[in-house]
Structure 1
Amino acid sequence: MSDAQLSRGQIERLLEVGRTLVSELDLEVLLSQVIEAARDLTGARYAALGVLDSDKQGLERFVYLGIDEETRRRIGPLPQGRGVLGELISHPEPLRLDEVSAHPRSYGFPAGHPDMRTFLGVPITVRGEAWGNLYLTEKAGGQPFEEVDERLVTVLAEWAAVAVENARLHGGLERRQAELERAVRGLETSAALARAGAAGMEADRLGRLIAKRGRDLVRARRFLLLLPEGEGLSVAAAAGEGAPLELEGTRISPEEPMLAEALRNPTPRGFAVGERAELSLGGLGVGAKAALLAPLDFRSGERGLLVALDPLAGARFETDDERLFESFAASAVTTLSTARAAEAEKLRLALDASEQERRRWARELHDETLQELGALQVIVEAMGDAGVPARAGELLQRAADHIDRGVKNLEGLITELRPATLDELGVGPAVGTLVDRVGEISGLAIEAELELEHERREPAERLAAELESAIYRLVQEGLNNVVKHASAAAVYLRIVEEDGVVEVTVRDDGDGFDPASAGGGFGLVGMRERVALVGGSLAIDSEPGRGTELRAELPSRLGRQASGPPPPAGGQSSER
């Protein structure tokens, strides 16, 4: 074909289209421009572009022009590359037909499809590989497509191939740039957490930093940090729109469907719902259209969750967000674990210092004050036996009674501070003495069941001092609460060691209370801290009018100490 066969308008339009296509870097826009140009150049009524699938056996996309949406709905599913359309897939070379139905591979059109007779198909080849096909039907005036039309569309297909390659390269560069930006954001976030952890930031402040940084990282409207507390989860930190600080401390059940599913998965899990539905988070009053949850796996075996709600852009979180979130979760759990370990060590040192101070005061009160009172009691009794006048004898007897009460009160205080039995004989005898004393003073009926496996062995063994102290203080605080707050008549105490676990139960028949509203009252904070330090768990079961049950499980294999009294600095003599 010579240039004379092309109209001036066609040549100018072809050049214009070429310039436009090679400068367009958005693939979606490019596809629309190609089929519009093909229809304009040839005068076809209908135009389409089919993009081949990865196997080059069918069409994965089909972009069309000339058919309205109502007709499109009547036709049904888009073409997959069968019939005449499939001929260009099998044989990627231009195909012109004056009558589509006459082609051997034609098997008609679906119901509702417009009549189409004339046809022109041209393949689009990118870097020598079939990429897609241009399809044109129904040339204006009912005329068949001519060779000039084929040449025009062939040149257009070549322009389109160059433009597609440019768009793909540009898209790849944009994706790599976006990936690099995400990686930089992730590194900056991880570095910020690492710096905060290294600086010794408190766990509460660190949690808020994690929530703020996590929200910024995945560009979410709201963000929650859920950490294990007892048998459930608690909101440790909240950030963003509609996530007020008042949410912090709110408990939530891990059985909530979305949370339960996320906790079962080892990697981040995305959720999305329809326009009129909302994801719910267990009555927190925080709803969302989309959510991204990542588990936090602590070395203790506990699991928390990072929860991002509603992306700032788009209807749902993308796969790239999930990968970024997974890396962030690993940094967050490492930083949190380090901070919690540091705080636990501080608490352990503080409790150890407290126990040492208790020992010192108990020893000094016993060795000095109690001994002085004992000597004074002996003197008063001797004076009463020395034949003094009756009035003086009465006064001496009253003095002796006061001294005796003072001695007993001081002995009780010494036992409260640090019982010698705990250091010298172990937790079993110490708890037994405590039960006798509390029952005598309060009048409570205390039924005690003590079965400590290590004490029955030959030779007898001792639990680690830290564990013995935790058990004793737990029972002591539990009994004190019953005496002070429960108005109970009876208490059941059970301490059983079995299969490497010490189970401690203190149950009363008193007034009961609401654990959720107790906060840090009744010594609950101190009990939880002691139990957590030895790797145990604590549960409080109570409600008004139904009594209270305190249950703790503590691992007994924390190391053993030899049976017998501790070194001289560890306690006081039991003799008075």
Structure 2
Amino acid sequence: MPVLTREQLEERLTSLHRASLELVSDLSLDTVLERIVRLAREEAEADYAALGVFDEAGDLVQFIPVGMAEEEVKKMPYPPKGLGLLGALKQERKTLRVRDIQKDPRSVGFPPGHPPMRSFLGVPILFGEQVLGQIYLTDKLGGEEFTEQDERVIETLAAYAGVAINNARLIRALTERDQSLTKKNEDLTLINTVATAITRSLDLDEILQKTLTSVMEYLKVENGEIFLKDDNGSDFRLVTHKGKFNGHLFTRDVFRMGEGIIGEVAESGQPYISKNVGKEVRYLRQKVFEEGCRWVAAFPLMARGSVIGVMVVAHHQEIVIDAPQAELLEAITSWAGITIENVVLQQQAQRLAVLEERERIGMDLHDGIIQSIYAVGLALDYARVALDEDTQQAKQKIEQAIDGLNKTIRDIRAYILDLRPRELYGNNLIQNLNRLVDEYRVNTLSEATLTAPEDGLVGLPVSHATALFHICQEALANVAKHAHARRVDVRLWATRDRVLLEVADNGQGFDLRQMSITLGHGLSNMHIRARKVGGDVEVTSAPGEGTTVLAWVPRRK
């Protein structure tokens, strides 16, 4: 083949430069590799061309041949292993140009099924000191061997190829890192959402809904349900459903241990993923199949090593859950399980507290009011007997009975003030507090005042106003029962972010270390009501110095 003139070579290199600039700008690694090998074959006018790509350990990870028929490629049991001339090219890290492959002492032949080849040109693809791969060409068209100009052109292409491959790898690494960061952000969002839900709420339904919604959004699934263990310890009952499918997922709302997906997960304590929901036809509703459900997964809700519930999610197509996702979901469901159990135990404790409070009230009524009424009865009976013999003594006993009845009436009113269920009628908190203070004044025959803004705190959420009302009711009841106060002052005011309520009395006060004994369940109720809407309660008191209850709630939800 005739040697190119200097002008022809420069023109050829200029053309290669333009093509290589397009190559370097391409950020898709697979596309870059394909374009490199085709451009090399075209520029060197070779019958065959191939490109091998190495990983960081120097092992061949990609082999892209061009010029061989598809049938010829399929006949090869494996790509070249990097022996012979290819091994020398990799070892020496410099261009190899061979007239006849079979006559070169470094040659070890071809893989089985490989077509025969003669002339060879191999150029390493370098980036700095790193060997990224190799370009090798065989069987020069129209000539017996590749020329020095071919060598120079392919070396130039290899230099551009090194930059292009490195750029593409960097972009792929950045993309994978961005995807990894996005995934981590999604994981952190799920953790934060669930953690917020289970730490800020004592409402079981709210915790279940937020946990289920968070997991569904994380997995990007359409439907979900939660089953919780019944009090009998062997049945799991549907308590929460969310999704696009019309109705519940299963044909029943209660599963026994070991029965169906729910029972199996409850019994094993292990997650369950079904890629073929057809075998679950016995328990899944037919409507669910008709609406396109193709994938179901269930996760145990664990608490102290036991399954207290099962969360199940379903989707119209298969969802792949990798190992990190599985570990995260296991942690989330464990948190949820522990929180759910704590809420259930708290509800049980509250029910027990109600029973204890009823018992206490019964004892108080028996030892206090009933005994007072009994004393009145005795006084009246004495007056009846003495009426004919000593009218003055009878009159004194009747007056004593009247005083006793008045005291008993006040005691009964105090109990009514403490026990009667109340609702916040309307949205004017101040009117309702005023009614509460008036009732306290009448029932206790002591002085009581209310200081509040004139605007009625328009815009305060009803749930927040209701919480303050009940806290005031509880605080006044405690004053009536325990404080022996001559005066109580109720103040209501607002800041930019909060509405505050203060109930202060001039009663006997108490030692804060004995607060739980003095205030009983009332203080606990006040704290629960305030915290349920995002607020809190603080109590200050000392023997002989009265008591102040300060409560606050957020001004907005």
Q: Supply the distance in 2 between the matched residues of 1:21 and 1:99 (Cα, whole angstroms).
A: 31
List aligned pairs for 1:107-126, cutoff 5 A.
Answer: 107-126=108-127
The aligned amino acid for 2:14 is: E
**Could you report, residue by residue, the CA deviation over 1:281-308 in whole angstroms, capped at 9, with x for unpaired residues?**
6855489877877665422433766666
CA drift of 1:112 comes to 3.1
CA drift of 1:28 comes to 1.7
1:330–1:83 distance in 2 versus 1, CA, 3 Å: same
The aligned amino acid for 1:82 is: L
CA drift of 1:345 comes to 1.0
Q: Which residue of 2 aligns with 1:387?
A: none
List aligned pairs for 1:11-30, cutoff 5 A.
Answer: 11-30=13-32
Q: Supply the distance in 2 between the matched residues of 1:237 and 1:113 (Cα, whole angstroms).
A: 64
1:145 aligns with 2:146: yes
CA drift of 1:7 comes to 4.1
> Contact conserved, 1:93 with 1:123, CA < 8 A, in 2?
yes
Q: Which residue of 2 aligns with 1:177?
A: 178
Question: Does the residue aligned with 1:51 lie in a helix, a strand or coil?
Answer: strand
1:343–1:6 distance in 2 versus 1, CA, 3 Å: farther
Q: Supply the distance in 2 between the matched residues of 1:13 and 1:226 (Cα, whole angstroms).
A: 69
CA drift of 1:350 comes to 0.8
CA drift of 1:258 comes to 13
Q: Supply the distance in 2 between the matched residues of 1:249 and 1:70 (Cα, whole angstroms).
A: 59
Q: Which residue of 2 aligns with 1:346?
A: 347
CA drift of 1:232 comes to 7.9
Q: Which residue of 1 aligns with 2:255?
A: 251
Aligned with residue 301 of structure 1, among 289, 306, 313: 306
> Contact conserved, 1:201 with 1:339, CA < 8 A, in 2?
no
Q: Supply the distance in 1 between the matched residues of 2:143 and 2:277 (Cα, whole angstroms).
A: 54
The aligned amino acid for 2:208 is: G
Question: Does the residue aligned with 2:142 lie in a helix, a strand or coil?
Answer: helix
Q: Which ranges in structure 1 are unaligned for 5 or more consecutive residues?
A: 369-576
> Contact conserved, 2:226 with 2:312, CA < 8 A, in 1?
yes
Q: Which residue of 1 aligns with 2:523?
A: none
1:187–1:68 distance in 2 versus 1, CA, 3 Å: same
> Contact conserved, 1:97 with 1:120, CA < 8 A, in 2?
yes
Aligned with residue 48 of structure 1, among 33, 47, 50: 50
CA drift of 1:325 comes to 4.7
Task: Give the CA RMSD over aligned residues.
Answer: 4.4
Question: Does the residue aligned with 1:61 lie in a helix, a strand or coil?
Answer: strand
Q: Which residue of 1 aligns with 2:40?
A: 38
TM-score by length of structure 2 reads 0.53
Q: Which residue of 1 aligns with 2:155?
A: 154
Question: Does the residue aligned with 1:302 lie in a helix, a strand or coil?
Answer: strand
Q: Which residue of 2 aligns with 1:548?
A: none
Q: Which residue of 2 aligns with 1:191?
A: 192
Q: Supply the distance in 1 between the matched residues of 2:225 and 2:8 (Cα, whole angstroms).
A: 66
> Contact conserved, 2:202 with 2:343, CA < 8 A, in 1?
no
Q: Which residue of 1 aligns with 2:425?
A: none
Q: Supply the distance in 2 between the matched residues of 1:109 and 1:262 (Cα, whole angstroms).
A: 60
> Contact conserved, 1:290 with 1:317, CA < 8 A, in 2?
no
The aligned amino acid for 2:95 is: P
The aligned amino acid for 1:43 is: E
The aligned amino acid for 2:23 is: L
CA drift of 1:330 comes to 2.1
1:178–1:346 distance in 2 versus 1, CA, 3 Å: same
**Could you report, residue by residue, the CA deviation over 1:163-207 in whole angstroms, capped at 9, with x for unpaired residues?**
222222222222222222222222222222233223426434433
Q: Which residue of 2 aligns with 1:133?
A: 134
Q: Which ranges in structure 2 are unaligned for 5 or more consecutive residues?
A: 371-557
Identity of aligned residues (%): 26
CA drift of 1:159 comes to 0.9
Length, aligned pairs only: 356
1:210 aligns with 2:215: no
CA drift of 1:263 comes to 9.7
> Contact conserved, 1:51 with 1:133, CA < 8 A, in 2?
yes
> Contact conserved, 2:80 with 2:111, CA < 8 A, in 1?
no
Q: Which residue of 1 aligns with 2:410?
A: none
Q: Which residue of 1 aligns with 2:68?
A: 67
**Could you report, residue by residue, the CA deviation over 1:73-126 in whole angstroms, capped at 9, with x for unpaired residues?**
222233332333222232222112222222334333344322222221111122
CA drift of 1:149 comes to 1.4
The aligned amino acid for 2:320 is: F
Q: Supply the distance in 1 between the matched residues of 2:114 and 2:46 (Cα, whole angstroms).
A: 17
**Could you report, residue by residue, the CA deviation over 1:22-74 in whole angstroms, capped at 9, with x for unpaired residues?**
21222122111211211121122322221224432x31221222234333222
The aligned amino acid for 1:21 is: L
232-241 or 187-196, larger mean C-alpha shift:
232-241
> Contact conserved, 1:297 with 1:333, CA < 8 A, in 2?
yes
> Contact conserved, 1:203 with 1:336, CA < 8 A, in 2?
no
TM-score by length of structure 1 reads 0.51
1:345–1:86 distance in 2 versus 1, CA, 3 Å: same
1:29–1:254 distance in 2 versus 1, CA, 3 Å: farther
